[in-house]
Chain A
């Protein structure tokens, strides 16, 4: 055995986290087409949309249409964000069969992002988790700012562990630890995971790394060396960083898969198919891909 996991589950967040952080509002049919293409790549989970008020997130205003319009491939999960009970009910009515809730390890970030304290947000999520449990709907929990906060700076691992534990205890089957501003390094990733792993089984952990400082793949490698088996990423590296103008955000799914393939780790995902989906959405958005693998491959080669 190599010491690394044999299989890594990739959670594709491009259609939600990615598009949410793109300036251009994407037409509903393009979103649906993107998700349908991603469904054919072998990705086991694709985050579809967010049932949040369109006042706050105009990009996700078409959440019902998208949820109802996509093809649902057997064996593929299509989680959606539900910040509160109202969003949850709306999601279920639209056909959602898995939901996500978003906590943070930083009070300031929680206040600035959703205008309430961490404790208040947890109470809201508990309402969602309770309804979800009654309906047998799995809930994924996210913890933002796991390796640093744009307002507070350094975040102590113990705080990340505390918030993660709250989400896990309320019934979240998986906790995705997000380096929201991409400031983390293999050093801080290791310390944070060591703290969180004391309270939460490894198999329930995921990492959601941003590549804003170019550290994402090194951080992901560190996480998988420690036994994490779920990695979030975004096709074409969609989604900039709202806290650093012009900087990148999500790590590109193509680049993650390239690395995992090179490590002999199974993902079930066809890299070419993801590159094609990435090419589709970048063309539709009239933007260059953030995936280095895609950049290197879609070039006109000068070699013989």
Chain B
């Protein structure tokens, strides 16, 4: 029980003063779903997945109507063994017209390898927490942005769009509370550097509709809402409620992971990414267009869970109501 007391932030237990959390204006008519299962999802799965399975997963996802599928990460296999086959995956997948296959590129070397392997879009990962940046990539936020600057310059020269991620936007496993102003500052820097979109990540899923609203209010002062995405983790079951608030504030790009692949490296046994199936179910119910075929998505989730020999984290998949 002592462990639980340490892990829950104080404001989660008692009241957190917050203002302005009622419903805002109209919801977007369309939402772009960014599928991160093959990269973010698999990267946080224990079992290393064979290359043909990864390729099949991405190919199946391509058939669902998803417009963006994060394929892999051009990071050193020493750090992320799961992504060691990045070149084979990139070269092996069917690339459907109209679908983007962004890849992570933590530095210039990764960027060059990605382009050589055929990547047409890349992503860079910043954070709103100094301690998280230090622990994760062993440098300060400022230093990480300098490294990304190199990637941005090369990307611009090659006409390759860059998506920026900001981690720990609603809380950090090391620092705890993260100020909305800090998130806005890092987001602004990455947007100014040339990222076409900034994905705001609740890395440990600790956020609630209250903190989501507060954070977005601050970021929206610096970055146009059309360039914002939310990347919510469901570790505390708050993801869909947080996403709903983001939609109410005008965000129209949402990241998710098929079958809710990817646990939380900071809370053993807890879940991580929100499941794409559950997100699409909600968006369908709201009459918001995504272009995604939920049944095909569920079939893809079934495929990868069988391959991983694990149960799905998607409640929609679990339900498949049978009388």
Contact = CB atoms under 8 A, between A and B. Distances in A.
7 contacts: A214-B281, A259-B208, A262-B208, A272-B8, A292-B270, A301-B266, A304-B174
Interface of B: 1, 3-8, 11-23, 173-174, 205, 207-211, 234-238, 240-241, 243-245, 264-271, 275, 278, 281-282, 284-287, 314-316, 318-323
Contacts of B236: 255, 258, 292-293, 296
A150 interface: yes
A182 B265 CA distance: 30
A215 B11 contact: no
A213 B316 CA distance: 5
B319 A262 contact: no
Nearest to B5: A272
A295 interface: yes
A185 B23 contact: no
Given A211-B315, A244-B321, A263-B208, A292 B244 contact: no
Given A2-B18, A214-B278, A276-B1, A293 B268 contact: no
A301 to B, nearest CB: 6
Contacts, number: 197
A279 B5 CA distance: 14
Given A225-B22, A258-B236, A279-B1, 16 more contacts: A150-B323, A185-B286, A186-B285, A214-B314, A215-B240, A217-B241, A222-B23, A226-B23, A247-B318, A247-B320, A255-B238, A262-B207, A297-B8, A299-B269, A302-B265, A302-B266
Nearest to B10: A261
Interface in A244-274: 244-248, 252, 255, 258-259, 261-266, 270-272
Contacts of B4: 272, 275, 294, 297-298
B147 to A, nearest CB: 24
Interface of A: 2-4, 150-151, 181-188, 211-215, 217-218, 220-222, 225-226, 241, 243-248, 252, 255, 258-259, 261-266, 270-272, 275-276, 279, 291-304
Contacts of A182: 319
A303 B319 contact: no
B235 A185 contact: no
Interface of A is mostly: loop
A217 B265 CA distance: 24
Contacts of A271: 8, 12-13
A150 B321 CA distance: 8
Nearest to B20: A2
A58 B17 CA distance: 45
A229 B209 CA distance: 17
A264 B13 contact: no
B323 A221 contact: no
B12 to A, nearest CB: 6
A188 B285 contact: yes
B185 to A, nearest CB: 23
Nearest to A255: B237
Contacts of B3: 297-301
A272 B286 contact: no
A242 to B, nearest CB: 10
Nearest to B18: A264
Contact of A218 (B244, B268, B270): B244
B21 A263 contact: yes
A35 to B, nearest CB: 20
Contacts of A218: 240-241, 243-244, 282
